[in-house]
Amino acid sequence: MLDVKITLALSFALSVIAAVSLLTLRLSRGDVAVLSVQPQRLRAFKLERAVLTLNVTRARRRRWWMGWLSLRVDTVRMPGGVDASFRAVSQTAVEVTAIPRYAGRYRGLGAKYELNDPLGIFGEFGEAEFEDFTIDVLPLALLAPARGVVIPAVTMGEKPAGRRGAAQELYAIDEYHPFAETKEILRKRAAARTPDERLLIRVREANIPRSLKIGLLEAVERGSGRPVWMDSTTEAVAAIGMILLRGGTEVEVLRSSPGGVARLSASNPDELANLVVEMWTPIDASHLPDVATEADFLVTGLEELDRTAVSEAARGKPSLLVLGGPGSPPRMTGRTTVYTGAESVVRVVSEVLAR
């Protein structure tokens, strides 16, 4: 008889505990317990690990039962081009490790999860979408060793380059040679001051532009192929920007936007790091002709050349044609350089400086 009473008491106690556990889970639904992501924005170099956390938080006010719940994440969906793995770090938190394979800016994060009661008997399944989550992936070109560029003597601009050129400023005095311009010969009074009365000439300094404008022309939705093209373009713009900044020229990127021509500028490597990810905005082709006209040189893709405005601008200005995928590069003429990711951009920069 005693065993029966103990069994009944135990059954009653377990039923009460299960009811309380289920009630705790039910009360945590909707306006109390929600899944959140921290931080909302990540920045990492390509192929570098970036860590974020998914956890259960309160939506309105703290409840005493919140600490009894447990979170189990089934799947995590990252944007294309970003690999992800996850592991539980506490009862209500999951750590997600993201490894981006391509440079650029990526938005959106999704997760399927299960919220369990304190006893692990009952569970509520849910799906969360974080559309504002952003991961900025910096290109490896920002870490590459410094690469010099030959500044043509005929380069014109607003800033002294610190080498021989065709500007008005005096750079040095040198000995006359047969191929020097006679108008640069110093007069007899200066020549008489030399022991052997050699003829001396003025050497003028080269100038470089204060800034160069890069026109980024994107008009085609590439779907799953966009991360590859975005990666190659980001690496190219970063490499060009680093060369220009080391030479003393600022970088400005122009892009078509609904409100007109959007402009981003950089005068140092830190600003360039911001520029190469912030230039990736939603595609808008309404002002491509304005961008092409104002830019000093263009960066675009093979698909964009089907548009008349882009193809005409590419024929008239130095341009970088980014393929962003496998395949044989097309035969190009004029001042267009095909870029697959392996080519050097030094020649492009030298040609633009010699405009």
225-251: string of b/e by CB count within 10 Å (b at 16+)? Answer: ebbbbbbbbbbbbbbbbbbbbebbbbb
- pLDDT tens across 256-310, in order? 998 899 999 999 999 999 999 999 998 888 888 889 889 988 899 888 877 776 7
**pLDDT score for 134:** 94
Is residue 226 included in any domain, yes or no? yes
Domain that holds residue 199: 159-208
* Within a domain: 167: yes
Give domain status of residue 4, yes or no: no
Whole-angstrom Cα distance, residue 268 to residue 248? 9
Residue 7 lies in a domain: no
C-beta separation of 96 from 76 below 8 A: yes
Q: Which helix (H) or strand (E) holds 278?
A: helix 269-278
192 lies in the same domain as 272: no
The answer to whether the beta carbons of residues 81 and 232 sit under 8 Å apart is no
Same-domain status, 113 and 197: no
How high is the pLDDT of residue 220?
85
Instruction: Name 45's bridge partners.
Output: 138
| Predicted local confidence at residue 205, as pLDDT | 53
User: Same structural domain for residues 223 and 316?
Assistant: yes
On whether both 332 and 202 belong to a single domain, the answer is no
Q: Are 125 and 230 contained in the same domain? A: no
Number of Cβ within a 10 Å radius of residue 90:
12
User: Do 147 and 293 have their domain in common?
Assistant: yes
Residue type for position 200: L
What pLDDT, on a 0 to 100 scale, did the predictor assign at position 178? 53
CATH number of 115's domain: 2.60.40.10
Residues 188 and 122 in one domain: no
Q: Would you state the pLDDT for residue 171?
A: 43
Q: Looking at the domain assignment, is residue 59 inside a domain?
A: yes
pTM over 0.75: no
pLDDT at residue 53 in the model: 93
Place of tokens 């911001």: 274
- The CATH number of the domain holding residue 301 is 3.40.50
φ, ψ at 230 (rounded to 5°): -65, -40
Strands 297-301 and 211-217: parallel
Same domain, 37 and 75: yes
Buried b / exposed e across 203-216, counting CB within 10 Å, b at 16+?
Answer: ebbbbbbebbbbbb
In a domain, 342, yes or no: yes
Token pair belonging to 309: 């405005």
Q: Angle CA(281)–CA(282)–CA(285) in degrees, nearest 5?
A: 105
In a domain, 334, yes or no: yes
Distances (CA, A) of 204 to 152, 283, 287, 304: 13, 46, 41, 42
Helix (H, G, I), strand (E, B) or coil at 206: strand
Q: Which two tokens stand for residue 214?
A: 């890069």
* Strand ranges (E), the chain: 33-38, 41-45, 50-58, 70-77, 82-90, 93-100, 104-116, 123-138, 159-164, 170-175, 200-208, 211-217, 250-257, 260-266, 297-301, 319-322, 336-339
Helix (H) or strand (E) holding 18: helix 2-27
349 forms beta bridges with none
pLDDT recorded at residue 99: 95
pLDDT digit string (tens) for the chain, length 355 residues: 556 556 655 665 555 555 555 455 455 554 445 788 999 999 999 999 999 999 877 544 444 444 556 778 889 999 888 999 999 888 888 999 999 999 999 999 999 888 775 555 555 777 889 999 999 999 999 998 866 655 554 454 444 444 444 444 444 454 545 544 555 455 555 544 555 556 655 555 556 678 889 999 998 888 888 999 999 999 999 999 998 888 778 899 999 998 899 999 999 999 999 999 999 998 888 888 889 889 988 899 888 877 776 777 667 788 888 886 655 555 555 677 888 877 777 777 766 666 5
Phi then psi for 336, rounded to 5 degrees? -95, 130
Residues 225 and 84 in one domain: no
Asked whether residue 1 is domain-assigned, the answer is no
| Same domain membership, residue 232 and residue 329 | yes
Let me know whether 61 and 147 are in one domain.
no
What is the count of structural domains for the chain?
3
CB 237 within 8 A of CB 272: no
Structure tokens at 76: 């995590």
Do residues 161 and 155 make contact, with C-beta atoms less than 8 angstroms apart? Answer: yes
Same domain assignment for residues 270 and 169:
no
Buried b (16+ CB within 10 A) or exposed e, 279-311: bbeeeebebbbebbeebbbbbbbbbbbebebbe
Distance CA(41)–CA(130), nearest Å, equals 11
